[in-house]
Structure 1
């Protein structure tokens, strides 16, 4: 970069990656005198696309000073307390709740006590001790109070109809003062001496110059990949999915506050309710199942009349460097994921948070900042990938070509260590830059049928009668609290009042 100070940021891209980046950067940097320009390329969204978020999105909205009620009404979005995973045609199911499982007993962690209770003959599932899961399955919105906060973490995410949400973000960016241009193409000019990007040329031959360029063009990676030639590493060995069909159906009469992922012989179908419709995702492997068969499966398994179906490639992978020269890749340009667990929006969020923490003060310190950004984003993305891989590796669904292949995908060294340690003694090592909490990992492992051989011996210090009484007390608390909560539909109507 030729200037001693970075005061002009140009974001080139489309859809959520573009407009969330523009909103965040403008909101965070405007007091520093940094201008933000957005160059919008044609959308890749379809009518059936949905952004299912993780709970961190609510905090990001707060930082952006987004009024939640206004956003929900404008986009016809809803709350989500987690994801319900079920195996079609069997009784196998578990709920990944966005909240705590159990409460401390004698100031010691709950999970070893639950394992000991099982050894003593208790027949209560781990999931039954999740206030968030119980509330979701009763169709209610969990509103925290002092009692729930002392019990443990409760959180929520959103189901955001993609086209409506992008329109909302674009309007917000323009209101905040982001300069916007539209173009069908983006031609990049590089400095002949430094090879930094110096400008982007629009259809009408206007040149938009800047100091820092954000590649928000999605998997095409037009800046960091096509122009700067940063290679991409495939993660196909970590996922059995290579194709995704998105479709939609009518909205549910009563909208559940969670997503549901239904495993079947040819892959899985995800149902993501909103107020405008129900978005449906069918994930599958193209050498096991044809597109027509996949769509038939989605219709059968969802038990919905589907419309607006669109088939797209799913190619999980990571850019070897997300920050190259004066270009930072955000979202799909930096990393793409399997659709299970809905981590794509969170990956955009992670990239922006790390960029802001390392935003260059001048050209002389950029090398160190680039190196650190590339290190932490890679680690964060790899931990997201591992959580997704665990879903496939540990599955005990009925035998089929898809799920048998899923059990044979590659586990990273870190994930293999997690699995081995958990199986041995019920401990879950968490690494730097993990997104998913210990509760989420436990919910997934236990939900997939993994039960440790032993437990932390400190749980043995609790007498059996005390342990039994504590577990009953927790279950009573959950039951009472669930009955106090407002139905999800009523809570949404209340926000609009």
Structure 2
């Protein structure tokens, strides 16, 4: 196999092209990118989970340069609370680990036992990143924090700037670029032989990658089935708002009776998203402005239609990103889903004559990984306690057998059932479930080997370490200013 052609637009196209070129060029594979007209709105922002840093590093992306060029910012996670300020306290889903080993054993069972014995410290109190976020600071990992546990961060990357940066990198790596207003697929039996561009250019390849939002090749040309998922919202508005005096180190989601509004701080603006159902666009804009308390501009609206392709790799077409699986926007898994597809495509890349087995493995892996991420989304919707018709609909979403088992086992003894295809760390699940009120009724018996007084001493030492480390960290604004000065 010598040529891979990618059809797409904006950041998904260029990230896919750069990643495949970097991985496959040593084997003599040529990568062609067929770029359709961009459709990213000014307010669109990519919410990158920490894992994207590894993919960026593999491609050769410099973090500081990317943030300067894309006008992005760091994020330690997101806080979800009621827009009214009433109800339960906001749930902070911070990136990174929680706690450190107690007498050589997992922290969490000891924390569960101590909570049952009256410990007042919450799970977040043992998280470096959660504590930093609450104090308006960033957390930069170092050797000391690494010994304690993971202190990860993600990014808010404005869509236009991110795409521009990635396109330049893809071109630098040697990706052949074709621009097209429209593309027609030429069929060859079950698969595709070539893409014919509107200027008459014909792009042939042995393997085609569909990186379009709508699945133009996978669903459009090949007719592959796409299973839609039930979701509480079906419309999303994005907009820009002026940034405040400081750039918060995490996102904030405000849940209203008829939907939710997300505020995603970046270097020059706050990117605002609003998801709803059963209201006009004008009503949604008023709701977003009221919930955010900001003046909104560059407003754009699109549909929300989460779901997944039955077979993301069909014949000689591989779907990545939203062509393979479109997630609900609440938790910002779009870029995470694209990364999953790229990692598994590279791992399963077909040697000549071996496509069938690798295609089957890609479909198996992606089906599992997508299902686990979807379970995380449904867990929040099913267990949240926000008021309103939107959230009543969310609570009624069907739970998979695997999710029901995971919740039941966690409730019984604080265990996260290990599952193949899990891409989210156990601490993300622990923060989600405990934050939504699922209190484990028991704990791993090994925690009983440690005396309560000894465990309490460990907890005091942890809390002191967290406080000390967080006080050493820069504010988000100071870190962004430092990056800007390097440019």
Give the TM-score taking structure 1 as reference length: 0.95
**What corresponds to 1:265 in structure 2?**
257
What whole-Å deviation, never above 9, does each CA across 1:281-328 have from its counterpart, x for those lacking one? 111223xx4333322221111111111111111011111111111111
CA distance in structure 1 between the partners assigned to 2:232 and 2:315 by the alignment: 34
**What corresponds to 2:114 in structure 1?**
117
Q: What's the secondary structure of 2:221's corresponding residue?
A: coil
**TM-superposed deviation, 1:263:** 1.4
CA distance in structure 2 between the partners assigned to 1:94 and 1:337 by the alignment: 20
**What corresponds to 1:403 in structure 2?**
391
User: Which runs of 4 or more aligned residues in structure 1 lie more than 4 Å from their structure 2 counterparts after TM superposition?
Assistant: none
Q: Indicate yes or no: 2:198 matched with 1:206.
A: no
CA distance in structure 2 between the partners assigned to 1:156 and 1:353 by the alignment: 20
Q: Indicate yes or no: 2:464 matched with 1:476.
A: yes
The answer on whether the counterparts of 1:83 and 1:261 sit within 8 Å (CA) in structure 2 is yes
**TM-superposed deviation, 1:480:** 0.6
**TM-superposed deviation, 1:146:** 2.0
**What corresponds to 1:135 in structure 2?**
132
What whole-Å deviation, never above 9, does each CA across 1:385-417 have from its counterpart, x for those lacking one? 1111111001022x3111111111011111111
CA distance in structure 1 between the partners assigned to 2:342 and 2:116 by the alignment: 46
RMSD: 1.2
**What corresponds to 2:451 in structure 1?**
463
CA distance in structure 2 between the partners assigned to 1:387 and 1:481 by the alignment: 30
CA distance in structure 2 between the partners assigned to 1:118 and 1:10 by the alignment: 55
The within-5 A match list for 1:322-341 is 322-341=312-331
The answer on whether the counterparts of 1:199 and 1:210 sit within 8 Å (CA) in structure 2 is yes
**What corresponds to 1:448 in structure 2?**
436
Q: Indicate yes or no: 2:331 matched with 1:354.
A: no
- 5+ residue gaps, structure 2, are none
**What corresponds to 1:433 in structure 2?**
421
**What corresponds to 2:361 in structure 1?**
372
**TM-superposed deviation, 1:155:** 0.8
**TM-superposed deviation, 1:269:** 1.1
Q: What's the secondary structure of 1:166's corresponding residue?
A: helix
Q: What's the secondary structure of 2:218's corresponding residue?
A: coil
Q: What's the secondary structure of 1:107's corresponding residue?
A: coil
CA distance in structure 2 between the partners assigned to 1:331 and 1:26 by the alignment: 17
CA distance in structure 1 between the partners assigned to 2:112 and 2:170 by the alignment: 50
Q: Indicate yes or no: 2:379 matched with 1:393.
A: no
Q: Indicate yes or no: 2:147 matched with 1:150.
A: yes
Q: Give the one of 46, 50, 53 matched to 1:55.
A: 50
Q: Give the one of 100, 125, 131 matched to 2:97.
A: 100
Q: What's the secondary structure of 1:305's corresponding residue?
A: coil
CA distance in structure 1 between the partners assigned to 2:112 and 2:319 by the alignment: 44
**TM-superposed deviation, 1:232:** 0.8
What whole-Å deviation, never above 9, does each CA across 1:64-115 have from its counterpart, x for those lacking one? 1111111111111111111112223224212111111111111121112112
- 5+ residue gaps, structure 1, are 1-5
**What corresponds to 1:280 in structure 2?**
272
